[in-house]
Structure 1
Amino acid sequence: MSSIASVASAAADLRASFGGQLLKPTDAGYEEARKVHNGLVDKRPALIARCRSATDVVDALDLATRLGLEVAVRGGGHNVAGRATIDGGIMIDLSPMKGVHVDAVGRTVRAQGGVTWGELNRETQLHGLAVTGGVISTTGIAGLTLGGGLGWLMSKYGLALDNLRAVELVTADGRVLRASNQEEPDLFWAVRGGGGNFGIATSFEYDLHPVGPTVIGGPIGYPIERSRDVLEFFRASTRSLPDEHTLFASLTHAPDGSGTEVAALVTCHCGPAAEAERAMRPLKQLGVPIVDAVGPMPYCQLNSMLDASYPKGALNYWKSNFLMQLSDAAIATMIDCFARCPTPMGQLLLEHIHGAVTRVGASDTAFPHRQECYNFSVLAQWMQPGDTSRCISWARETYETMRPFFAAGRYVNYLDDDETGDPVAAAYGPNYRRLQRIKASYDPKNFFRMNQNVRPLA
């Protein structure tokens, strides 16, 4: 491990040619730069390399190698487990890398690794185009895409990773590679779901699709006493949704901070307006809603409508697993567990996966979860450190109580930092061995291990 003095000396030598910023713990801006979205994560890198180009990334990697320091890579910084930062190592921060170029005629976009979905959508929607992004606009495109990419458009256009055309990647030995179906095809297969295991993704190229600029969607919430009715309606509806229609369900709290418990549906329909309006009518006929914000809105607004519910700095602890079906017993268990939620920012979420996502083969990309299913998540979120113990306990207890209903698969982007067993192998299932072989080719020493780590095959 390098000393503080040697890190400072090496950073000083690099600073003259470095295009971005090199921040030591004593520098102005360090305290803000070290923070990630999850306030529960409190790590102090020895150095933060805020990169502006792929060359900066190469230089920062070289510095880390020479100093023998571990590296964490930050794109949007939203990963709930806090893998974007590190104690005592180098955080390679891509957040200043904000370039976005839209080819409206060819319907493609190229964006650098520090871009968020809100920033990407703003540029693509100027041309009435979009690609599947997340459901929180401040999420980075890099982490979401490399691990999967669930979002409002996935049932029509597939996951974010299904829309990738190419990725520019800096490998552990400092090479800059372009991975696509034609160039480094094994690597391209691996980064579509394999996360940050193979290098630092400095730019992404996506296919774009005609979307909006107005879609119909939003949240609608009913009194918590209607939870069973809402979840049964959700189950019945998801059996026959068209590709254009995405529907999630949640046991949550009113967004006004009152702590009022709500059984909510959140939806997006990206098809023709008349079809979308017909699809929304049943959602509004379950009774008298507490809140009804379902209606026409710009796609950019839809993609940011939940942002305020996930503020930066809030303390977060999540657990999730796939469900192949939503049984009566699973519904009853969810309702019972939510009744014990200790925080007005906590929720249980069901993200329904269908349509285009399921028409990709399980082995066509590293992301193997291609059956129609639900992603069940326990999202514990709170503001006061004194509430940490009971909020984490509730999340863990709820997860264990729901375990009898779980399928084998898990979504790698939602894995927390205290998982037992080998959750990464479980998340990749039949694709894990191939990922290990590709890891051994591109990162045999497992330099990139501050992630949902795939161990290289010996």
Structure 2
Amino acid sequence: MTSSSDPFAIQGQVVTAESGDEYINAISRASHFSILKPQTIFFPTDFADIPPILQYAIAQNPPLEIAVKGGGVHCSPWASSEGGVVIDLAKLNHVSLSPDKKAITVQGGAVWGDVYKVCQEEQVDVVGSPLWFVGVGGFTLGGGYGPLSGEYGLTIDNLLSAVVVLSDGRIVTASPTQEPDLFWAIRGGGNQFGIVVQFTFKTHPLAGPFSVGTLIYDGNDLEVPQVLKTIQDWKANQSSKSRLSVMFIRPGPHFTPKILVLPWSIGPNVDEVLSPFRENVKPLVNVIKSVPDLFTLSHGSDASFAHAPKRLIIRGGFVADLWTDMFLEVWKRWCEHTEGNEDVRSSGVMWDITSPSKIAEVGESETAAHVRKYHHWFSVQGRSHKNSADDLNKAFVSSVASYIREFNTHQTGEDLGVWLSMAQGDEGAEAVFGANLPRLREVKARYDPIKLWSKGVVIEPDFNQL
């Protein structure tokens, strides 16, 4: 629908501060740190709605900042703008499967739950997020580590083509044969080249059922090293069909430190995954269940997220291994941070142990996402209910993420940098894009010479190579 107060007519909806509750709902984000107050929020319902929005923003004096919202779960305000324009893709969320079921086409405003629902109905799978509410767009443009990455690589490794609205208003298709440099750049280069309004992904045979475990261990000085040793031994012989998430938590009612291990595997038989974690150290909680598909799996954490504090800040990156000294030092720092201050005890550290073999089959320069050697990813999360804890959480998150990165560099002689999806934007483009930054700067100059896309980790255009 269109409002009579629209600066111009589009098929979609236009929301301003005068829209009342609609505006409040439209600026809401998963993290309170992501909320800003734009002048205007546009909800396009057709790709053709977007070029005139861009023209409007550019024509203002001074030009208005443009932010694009897909899922809106990032804890930095990359999908928000203070006084500018937000293009919210929420109404562009259609998902369709090709007649031969070998490809699935997803509009840029969809979340992974939209995709998994179609996959559930059609009995296929796709490499997507572990969580249903994560936006397809931001997740994909950052690379995309998902439950099936051990089997099929990153989400971008399964991207067949994309439709992109450029800064000059052109709408183009990017693929290995059409606009190949743009196609290369959006696979890990983030939101710096245009608005990706449609993705087409390769599908795979239905992977489920999945076996999912919940194991919680006491965080005492004796058990923590034993749990870590079990993880290290298991990881050495890891199958591509299984993965672990390891988290530092303080569950109620006593809020003492615990290690949460979430084993996951394709298929009903999980003995090879679970047996070391049941036998080497006895867990306080030992639950295993089977879920039929990714749609169900992606809703597994709904209850915990519903009650989690909304003042959330995250930083993260990559590590080549889970070294004992590094792991125990991070554990010590997390315990100290969360001890004695109840408002930060929901803060946590997460390690994802997905088999990287398939990811490493792709060369470091084949996609903009350059980290392809053997690695895992981590995130450091600061959560609180009150703004009085903000500075404390920000300092903790920054210091621990930097420590892990520096430890990895010291151990391996190589800086794996920062993962775009876990960045805050102040780390610098070199830390995120590594050796691929020069080519990304060249592509930026060709596809966004006016730097219209300036939210997030900003890539400066290089016109010297044109």
| TM-score of the pair, normalised by structure 1 | 0.91
Moved more, 243-252 or 382-391: 382-391
Matched residue pairs, number? 443
Query: In the alignment, is the contact (CA less than 8 A) between 2:41 and 2:87 conserved in 1?
Result: yes
**Alignment partner of 1:440: what SS?**
helix
CA-to-aligned-CA distance 1:337-374 (integer Å, 9 cap, x gap):
12123323211111224121111111111111111112
**Which of 87, 111, 118 lines up with 1:116 in the alignment?**
111
Mapped pair 1:397 → 2:408? no
Mapped pair 1:364 → 2:359? no
Residue in 1 aligned with 2:341? none
Deviation at 1:391, TM superposition (A): 1.9
**Alignment partner of 1:119: what SS?**
helix
Query: In the alignment, is the contact (CA less than 8 A) between 2:309 and 2:346 conserved in 1?
Result: no
Moved more, 50-59 or 429-438: 50-59
Query: In the alignment, is the contact (CA less than 8 A) between 1:169 and 1:176 conserved in 2?
Result: yes
Mapped pair 1:236 → 2:236? no
Deviation at 1:401, TM superposition (A): 4.1
Matched residue type, 1:322: F
Query: In the alignment, is the contact (CA less than 8 A) between 1:137 and 1:307 conserved in 2?
Result: no
Q: Distance in 2 between matches of 1:36 and 1:257?
A: 29
Matched residue type, 1:433: P
Matched residue type, 2:435: P
Residue in 1 aligned with 2:141? 146
**Which of 425, 439, 443 lines up with 1:438 in the alignment?**
443
**Alignment partner of 2:358: what SS?**
helix
Residue in 1 aligned with 2:389? 387
**Alignment partner of 1:48: what SS?**
strand
Q: Distance in 1 between matches of 2:400 and 2:103?
A: 42
From the superposition, tell whether residues 87 and 313 of structure 1 become closer, same or farther in structure 2 (CA, over 3 Å). Answer: farther
**Alignment partner of 1:229: what SS?**
helix
Matched residue type, 1:232: K
Mapped pair 1:86 → 2:81? yes
Residue in 2 aligned with 1:6? none
**Which of 43, 49, 57 lines up with 1:50 in the alignment?**
43
Matched residue type, 2:363: G
Q: Distance in 2 between matches of 1:174 and 1:304?
A: 37
Q: Distance in 1 between matches of 2:461 and 2:214?
A: 43
Q: Distance in 1 between matches of 2:444 and 2:88?
A: 23
CA-to-aligned-CA distance 1:388-442 (integer Å, 9 cap, x gap):
222222223333444541341221111014x25x2x2222111111111111110
Query: In the alignment, is the contact (CA less than 8 A) between 2:319 and 2:405 conserved in 1?
Result: no
Residue in 1 aligned with 2:255? 259
RMSD: 2.1
CA-to-aligned-CA distance 1:296-340 (integer Å, 9 cap, x gap):
113322222224434487111112232212222112202211212
Deviation at 1:239, TM superposition (A): 1.8
Matches within 5 A, 1:189-204: 189-204=184-199
Query: In the alignment, is the contact (CA less than 8 A) between 2:109 and 2:135 conserved in 1?
Result: yes
**Which of 332, 340, 359 lines up with 2:328 in the alignment?**
332
From the superposition, tell whether residues 258 and 355 of structure 1 become closer, same or farther in structure 2 (CA, over 3 Å). Answer: farther
Q: Distance in 2 between matches of 1:239 and 1:310?
A: 31
From the superposition, tell whether residues 349 and 118 of structure 1 become closer, same or farther in structure 2 (CA, over 3 Å). Answer: same
Residue in 2 aligned with 1:5? none
CA-to-aligned-CA distance 1:262-304 (integer Å, 9 cap, x gap):
212223212x433x44333323334332333432113322222
Residue in 1 aligned with 2:209? 214
Query: In the alignment, is the contact (CA less than 8 A) between 1:333 and 1:402 conserved in 2?
Result: no
Matched residue type, 1:321: G
Residue in 2 aligned with 1:3? none
Residue in 1 aligned with 2:126? 131
Mapped pair 1:23 → 2:15? yes
Q: Distance in 1 between matches of 2:171 and 2:188?
A: 20
Mapped pair 1:36 → 2:29? yes
CA-to-aligned-CA distance 1:86-132 (integer Å, 9 cap, x gap):
10110000012120102363321101111111111111122221212
Can you give the 5+ residue segments of structure 1 that lack an aligned partner in the other structure?
Answer: 1-8
CA-to-aligned-CA distance 1:62-107 (integer Å, 9 cap, x gap):
2212222110000000122120001011000001212010236332
From the superposition, tell whether residues 347 and 317 of structure 1 become closer, same or farther in structure 2 (CA, over 3 Å). Answer: same
Q: Distance in 1 between matches of 2:5 and 2:226?
A: 60
Deviation at 1:152, TM superposition (A): 1.2
Matched residue type, 1:27: S
Matched residue type, 1:383: H
Matched residue type, 2:257: E
Q: Distance in 1 between matches of 2:195 and 2:309?
A: 25
Deviation at 1:159, TM superposition (A): 0.8
Query: In the alignment, is the contact (CA less than 8 A) between 2:226 and 2:281 conserved in 1?
Result: no
Q: Distance in 2 between matches of 1:378 and 1:51?
A: 35
**Which of 308, 312, 318 lines up with 2:314 in the alignment?**
318
Deviation at 1:253, TM superposition (A): 3.0
**Alignment partner of 2:363: what SS?**
coil
**Which of 416, 429, 440 lines up with 2:424 in the alignment?**
416
Q: Distance in 1 between matches of 2:175 and 2:45?
A: 23
**Which of 340, 355, 359 lines up with 2:357 in the alignment?**
355
**Alignment partner of 1:40: what SS?**
helix
Query: In the alignment, is the contact (CA less than 8 A) between 1:412 and 1:427 conserved in 2?
Result: yes
**Which of 287, 290, 303 lines up with 2:281 in the alignment?**
287
Query: In the alignment, is the contact (CA less than 8 A) between 1:340 and 1:394 conserved in 2?
Result: no
**Alignment partner of 1:292: what SS?**
strand
Matches within 5 A, 1:52-67: 52-67=45-60
Mapped pair 1:297 → 2:291? yes
- Identity of matched residues, %: 24
Mapped pair 1:447 → 2:449? no
Q: Distance in 2 between matches of 1:335 and 1:292?
A: 22
Q: Distance in 2 between matches of 1:313 and 1:94?
A: 26
From the superposition, tell whether residues 308 and 286 of structure 1 become closer, same or farther in structure 2 (CA, over 3 Å). Answer: farther
Q: Distance in 2 between matches of 1:143 and 1:257?
A: 36
CA-to-aligned-CA distance 1:20-60 (integer Å, 9 cap, x gap):
21111111300110122111233100100112121122222
Query: In the alignment, is the contact (CA less than 8 A) between 1:247 and 1:265 conserved in 2?
Result: yes
**Alignment partner of 1:125: what SS?**
helix
From the superposition, tell whether residues 400 and 158 of structure 1 become closer, same or farther in structure 2 (CA, over 3 Å). Answer: closer
From the superposition, tell whether residues 280 and 337 of structure 1 become closer, same or farther in structure 2 (CA, over 3 Å). Answer: same
Q: Distance in 2 between matches of 1:100 and 1:193?
A: 22
| TM-score of the pair, normalised by structure 2 | 0.90
Residue in 1 aligned with 2:412? none
Query: In the alignment, is the contact (CA less than 8 A) between 2:34 and 2:78 conserved in 1?
Result: no
